[in-house]
Amino acid sequence: MMGLLTDAGLGFDSGHATTTTTTTAIAATVAVVSLSLYLALYWMQTRKVHPDEPPIIASPVPFVGQILGMAIWGGRYVKSIGIRNQDKPIFTLPLSPRSRIYIVTDPSLAAAVQRASRTLSFTPLIPDLTKRVLGLDDATVSIVRQNLDPVGAGDPRGFLADMHDLVYTSLSPGEALDELTLSAARELAAQISSFASTLPPEKSKGNKISLLAFIRALVTPATARLLYGPSNPLTKSPSLAAALWKFDAGVPSLLLNILPSLTARKAYLAREALTSAFATYLSNDSHTQSASPLVQKRIQTAQRHGLSLDGTARSELSFLFAGVVNTATTAFWAVARVFADNTQLLEIIREEVHKAVVVHTCDKNDEGVETIELDLKILKTADCAPILHAVLRECLRLGSDNFSTRLVTSQGSSTLLAGKWFLSEGSVVQIAGGVVHADRRVWGENADGFDYKRFLSSAAVGDNDNDNGKGNGKSVHPAAFRAFGGGKTLCPGRHFATREVVALVAMFVLMFDLEAVDGGLLVVPEKEDGALPVHILEPKGGDVQVMIRRREGVGRVVVA
Ligand code: HEM
Ligand SMILES: *[C@@H]1O[C@H](CO)[C@@H](O)[C@H](O)[C@H]1NC(C)=O
Ligand SMILES: CC(=O)N[C@H]1CO[C@H](CO)[C@@H](O)[C@@H]1O
């Protein structure tokens, strides 16, 4: 650069020599100063705040580069750094000389982060996150902020702590969960049966559908109905189901919070439409009386803590969102995998599911087709339906690049993570699910590919909490499966979601045949990992078109 300028200067006639020399000198000075500044910044970003701070990954563009990388490449940015640095169980991305993000990629260190829930906590981040994403007003945020982390039994409990306990208790295995699962499966069965009755008789080519949109259109109203009862906002106004997905698509932009009413306009408008529909729903007792017991208790909890109608509406919108979004997208991957596999997976699953078909009635209904009656008890755990459950877990592993986020709330020895790593107060720690899920040392050489067999361990017992199957022939660390988060933020809906998706896939394989549009097996698309991963990843390149056909002799499905 300097050379170029000097050469250019020599080209001018001698009358301008002084000016040229001055220009050259200024240019040289500017260049030297910029270079020094750059080197100083570069050096600064490589400075640890403490000798025990995790290794620093420098960016060619000091500090700003990390943010730019995340903004431009989304989840792929941190994921690719993590994969390139797998020798480091934790590393530092400096955002400024003092603020940093620590990225954890090692399962046992992830477990240590989860255990240190007092000094590495998610809860202090909730008020700001929910404010951004849900648009909570100041009064609601101040209620959300109260007593976030009660420790002893006598400590006052804030709104979030109460809600957290309520949801975890209600969705744990037991009678209430069985009831909820039953109503979910009934809703799905009713919708699937009524769709099946619109399909032309078997042997035709079938109907063309967009698979992801189709499954979302099944799961969204079904979940709204089973949680919020027959007068739920989505049944009253079906266009709101689409609004929920517009809101979903805009969550990363709402999180970034750079002029959301412009940069996330569609999501913003969708969220407001949903909020006002929820407010209308909530203000009429005859609507809420038919909601599920869990939702009725949620509404009472909100009232007890003095949430406004608007605040309660937004809180319930977030619950419906949590209940729908990941479940629907996961169901899409599971259905696609089962029908795309060329290793007889479909036959194997059909055989497995047939164990749960209690009455395969011979009394034909009006249209001369049979009714399938599913017994959910047989499907709900991996004991009886190991392959279906393994397929689901493998879809979750491959589809989840989610980060578990924690704030470092105090400095010094109390945060020497695993007795080794210094973490600076006020920084953010993220367990990078995408990196852990891609780690060959954890999952084996075929970590990139779909292999449900890795989750068919003999230890598969009960509900799915402790079964991570086998990676490299050895059993996988319990914190290595990140799709449901972990520690204090472990998803309370994981059992329910698992059962719901299993029921949905079971109904699909029993009722339908799916093919690629030009015939032959479905092709499972790549996943879109460019966006900020706030949920199970979507297919790259848009939805998948498939031909759907009713299976021979099968008319409708009901749930026992
Ligand atoms: C396949 C489906 C699902 C997946 C992959 C999933 C995943 C997750 C993850 C990763 C988190 C933790 C977020 C974090 O660490 O920051 C979470 C939280 C949560 N999930 Fe799920 N989820 C699913 C289904 C459900 C369902 C069906 C419900 C409810 C009916 C639900 C309710 C919740 C709630 C309420 C939270 C927040 C918990 C809290 O910290 O208080 N999820 N989910
Ligand atoms: C409450 O809902 C019921 C049932 O949908 C309806 O008949 C009634 O008019 C509603 N009440 C108000 C005040 O909107
Ligand atoms: C950091 C991040 O993306 N966390 C998300 C993980 O998944 C849950 C459930 O979908 C979200 O609520 C979090 O925001």
Read off the amino acid at residue 402.
N
Alpha carbon separation from 522 to 213, 346, 387, 518, 519 (Å, rounded): 16, 12, 20, 10, 8
Alpha carbon separation from 93 to 108, 354, 433, 469 (Å, rounded): 20, 51, 17, 32
Can you give the pLDDT at residue 366?
55
Distance CA(535)–CA(543), nearest Å, equals 17
Question: In the chain, how long is the greatest CA-to-CA distance?
Answer: 107
Structure token digits, residue 107:
């399962």
Instruction: Kindly state if the Cβ of 397 falls inside 6 Å of ligand 2.
Output: no
Ligand 2, atom 11: closest residue by C-alpha: 284
Residue 515 contacts residue 203 (beta carbons within 8 Å): no
Task: State in Å: Cα 284 to ligand 2 middle.
Answer: 6
Q: Which of 164, 216, 491 to mutate to test the pocket of ligand 1 (most atoms within 8 A of CB)?
A: 491
Could you count the other beta carbons within 10 Å of the beta carbon of residue 193?
18
For 424-466, the three-class secondary structure string (H helix, E strand, C coil) is CCCCEEEEEHHHHHCCHHHHCCCCCCCCHHHHCCCCCCCCHHH
First to last CA, the chain: 77
What is the residue-wise DSSP string for 162-211? HHHHHHHHHTSSSHHHHHHHHHHHHHHHHHHHHHHTTSPPTTS--EEEEH
Q: Which ligand is nearest to the CA of 290?
A: 2
Residues 6+ positions from 66 with CB-CB distance below 8 Å: 59, 93, 94, 95, 101
Can you give the pLDDT at residue 204?
73
Ligand 1 atom closest to Cα of 396?
A: 5
Task: State in Å: Cα 535 to ligand 3 middle.
Answer: 6
Can you give the pLDDT at residue 469?
57
Distance CA(60)–CA(78), nearest Å, equals 15
Mapped onto helix, strand or coil, the DSSP state of residue 105 is: coil
Distance CA(433)–CA(57), nearest Å, equals 19
Distance CA(211)–CA(40), nearest Å, equals 53
Ligand 1-lining residues (CB < 6 angstroms): 164, 167, 319, 322-323, 326-327, 330, 396, 402, 404, 483-485, 489, 491-493, 496-497, 536
Instruction: Indicate the pTM of the whole model.
Output: 0.90
Q: Which of 534, 536, 537 to mutate to test the pocket of ligand 3 (most atoms within 8 A of CB)?
A: 534
Task: State in Å: Cα 286 to ligand 2 middle.
Answer: 7
Task: State in Å: Cα 518 to ligand 1 middle.
Answer: 37
Instruction: Kindly state if the Cβ of 92 falls inside 6 Å of ligand 3.
Output: no
Q: Which ligand is nearest to the CA of 281?
A: 2
Residue 136 contacts residue 314 (beta carbons within 8 Å): yes
Query: Cα-flanking dihedrals φ and ψ of residue 347, to 5°?
Result: -65, -40
- CA angle (402, 403, 408) in 5-degree steps: 165
Distance CA(442)–CA(459), nearest Å, equals 17
Rounded to the nearest 10°, the torsion over CA 114, 118, 120, 123 is: 100
Ligand 1, atom 37: closest residue by C-alpha: 491
Q: Which ligand is nearest to the CA of 328?
A: 1
Distance CA(105)–CA(421), nearest Å, equals 14
Can you give the pLDDT at residue 464?
46
Instruction: Kindly state if the Cβ of 287 falls inside 6 Å of ligand 2.
Output: yes
Task: State in Å: Cα 493 to ligand 1 middle.
Answer: 6
Q: Which ligand is nearest to the CA of 323?
A: 1
For 289-337, the three-class secondary structure string (H helix, E strand, C coil) is CCCCHHHHHHHHHHHHCCCCHHHHHHHHHHHHHHHHHHHHHHHHHHHHH
Tell the residue number behind the tokens 């689409």, with chain if given: 242
Q: Which of 236, 237, 284 to mutate to test the pocket of ligand 2 (most atoms within 8 A of CB)?
A: 284
Mean pLDDT per 10-residue section of the chain, whose length is 560 residues: 38 57 90 94 92 94 89 87 94 91 96 92 92 95 90 87 95 94 95 90 81 96 96 92 95 86 93 97 96 97 97 98 96 96 90 83 61 87 90 96 91 75 94 95 93 75 47 74 94 96 96 91 89 85 93 86
If residue 56 lies in a helix (H) or strand (E), which one and from where to where? none
Q: Which ligand is nearest to the CA of 319?
A: 1
Query: Cα-flanking dihedrals φ and ψ of residue 154, to 5°?
Result: -85, -10
**Can you say whether residue 247 is alpha, beta or left, with left for phi > 0 and alpha for psi between -120 and 50 degrees?**
alpha
Instruction: Kindly state if the Cβ of 231 falls inside 6 Å of ligand 2.
Output: yes
What is the residue-wise DSSP string for 349-385? HHHHHHTTEEEE--S--TTS-EEEEE-HHHHSSTTT-
Instruction: Kindly state if the Cβ of 535 falls inside 6 Å of ligand 3.
Output: yes
